[in-house]
Chain A
Amino acid sequence: MVEERILNSSFLNLNTEGVELTREEFLRYGRHLIMPEVGLEGQKKLKSASVLIIGAGGLGSPLAFYLTAAGVGRIGIVDFDVVDFSNLQRQIIHTTNDVGKSKLESAREKLSALNPNVEIETYETRLTSENALEIIKDYDIIIDGTDNFPTRYLVNDACVLLGKPNVYGSIFRFEGQASVFYAKVGPCYRCLYQEPPPPGLVPSCAEGGVLGVLPGIIGTIQALEAIKLILGVGEPLIGKLLLFDALKMRFRELKLRKNPDCPICGENPTIKELIDYEAFCGVTPEQALHATGFEITPEELKLKLENGEDIILIDVREPHEWEINRIHGSRLIPLSKLPEKVNELDQTREIIVYCKMGGRSARAVQFLRELGFTRVKNLAGGIDAWIEKIDPSMLKY
């Protein structure tokens, strides 16, 4: 235990000299102060620490709340989005009244109300290769609360280059992962996965869904790991990948090793500065179809349907999505069932494929084109765009 504490306190070098707590803070943090693992010194460490949260969304909400409540001195949040109704199922920092408001403004309000002692800094921007180092360099710990591959690799690389710990979390449906990537003392994200999957091969949360409580659990674990790093107590998730299965209520832990051939933190790194992460992660099937013209707009589709043109309209979503809404005249073939149903489709007729937002249907179009279907197109923006442009009376989810 003593050895662990010495080991861990070497992770962050926080200077608590001259840091004092006010009378109100003694009361506020009383439950921390009476714990030997925190105590007055630990609370001062929290107060002198700074944490950057990237994304004020599902993971960012519980993260920001708990770190603010714990008394982390300075919290930065990067986001550029506005609050949408579909966020409220899991992004608990935003309320119904905040819909349409900037996420940063909404978050700042709640956090300042929770703990006015915490300095909240907001960055209303995308994190890019141009601004990442500049924003990240002023923080002790970085927490990636976003969940797309370009940002994931960008945050990883920026943290490795600046020597910062990166508290990682990822969620999908009812499964989550968490770890701490800290290249100074352990592996980084690229040690685990050198390259991202080609776009479109792995479904995103917007397509696959996520249980609203799940980011609460994973985000809270990330907050806990950040606090442990600040306090220098316990065993952080460095070199370990925590897997959580909400349905089985099972936690597992896998070993992560530092890869000596890692392109950024290995023995002979080839990446020495930030790169173009969109290009690195590739174009999505959707973007590719858009560029090559194998796409149809909602307006064009409406015209074809009105003119009674001979088209096969295929919906590649899941049956439970089809029950909520569908375009009249379409046939349901979920993406995973397409390979076995493909023989039922007539190659000579025009085929138009849609899903919710255009991602899954783009994969379907790609798949059909590989099989030799030439008259197949993707409905740009999916049924969401159809509702927006053609039929706002339809239910939206």
Chain B
Amino acid sequence: MPVKVMIPTPLRSYTDNKDSVEVEGWTIDEVLLNLVDKYPQLKRHLFTDDGRLRNFINIYVNDEDVRYLDKGDTKVKEGDIISIIPAIAGGKTKFKAR
């Protein structure tokens, strides 16, 4: 079943500049695996070498964080919007804490 995955700006260079892509899957894990299958360059940005979702990436189904649902096993249904929300830091890069 296809669902819509929203791609955040910093990761769009790995999805041919698409801001959303349709991916098949019944659970979050399936959707994400199919997504990185389709766009292999995304993989290292979303997952660690041992295949865990990176700590600075959160996945939402509609407005809910999957960490508070069933994590990777969270079921998705037609019409759901999956969002990848990475930590972003633009702005004053020179202003570093020490």
Contact = CB atoms under 8 A, between A and B. Distances in A.
A172 B10 contact: yes
Interface stretch (B21-29, B57-65, B70-78): B57-65
A31 interface: no
B65 A170 contact: no
Contacts of A197: 54, 56, 86-87
A325 B72 CA distance: 46
A336 to B, nearest CB: 4
A176 B94 CA distance: 19
Contact of B63 (A146, A206, A255, A277): A255
Contacts of A208: 9-10, 90
B77 to A, nearest CB: 18
Considering residues B9, B58, B64, B91, which has the most beta carbons from chain A within 10 angstroms of its beta carbon?
Answer: B91
A126 B86 contact: no
B88 A172 contact: yes
Interface string B32-69: 00000000010001000000001110101001110110
A123 to B, nearest CB: 12
B13 A336 contact: yes
Taking residues whose C-beta sits less than 8 angstroms from the other chain, chain B's interface range is 20 to 34
A175 B9 contact: yes
A128 B58 contact: no
Given A170-B88, A193-B87, A277 B97 contact: yes
Contact of A170 (B41, B67, B91, B98): B91
Contact of A278 (B10, B55, B98): B98
Contact of A81 (B60, B83, B88, B95): B95
A178 to B, nearest CB: 12
Taking residues whose C-beta sits less than 8 angstroms from the other chain, chain A's interface range is 35 or more
B98 A129 contact: yes
Considering residues B54, B92, B94, which has the most beta carbons from chain A within 10 angstroms of its beta carbon?
Answer: B92
B86 A58 contact: no
A223 to B, nearest CB: 16
B89 A204 contact: yes
A222 B22 CA distance: 34
B84 to A, nearest CB: 12
Nearest to B55: A195
Contacts of A128: 97-98
A204 B97 contact: no
A128 B89 CA distance: 18
B91 A79 contact: no
B97 A195 contact: no
B93 A254 contact: no
A172 B92 contact: no
Contacts of A174: 9
Contacts of B89: 147-149, 152, 170, 172, 196, 202, 204
A204 B41 CA distance: 19
A339 B13 CA distance: 13
Contacts of B67: 259
A253 B63 contact: yes
A251 to B, nearest CB: 12
B52 to A, nearest CB: 12
A31 to B, nearest CB: 31
A55 B64 contact: no
B91 A194 contact: no
A149 B87 contact: yes
A205 interface: yes
A128 B96 CA distance: 9
Given A173-B9, A255-B65, A204 B93 contact: yes
Q: Which 7 A-B pairs have the closest CB atoms?
A: A147-B91, A205-B90, A150-B97, A197-B56, A336-B13, A151-B97, A172-B90
Given A146-B91, A150-B96, A170-B90, 20 more contacts: A79-B95, A145-B91, A147-B89, A148-B89, A148-B96, A151-B96, A151-B97, A153-B97, A174-B9, A192-B87, A194-B55, A197-B87, A201-B45, A205-B93, A206-B93, A252-B63, A252-B83, A254-B83, A255-B65, A256-B65
10 contacts: A128-B98, A146-B92, A148-B95, A148-B97, A151-B96, A192-B58, A202-B87, A202-B89, A255-B64, A256-B65
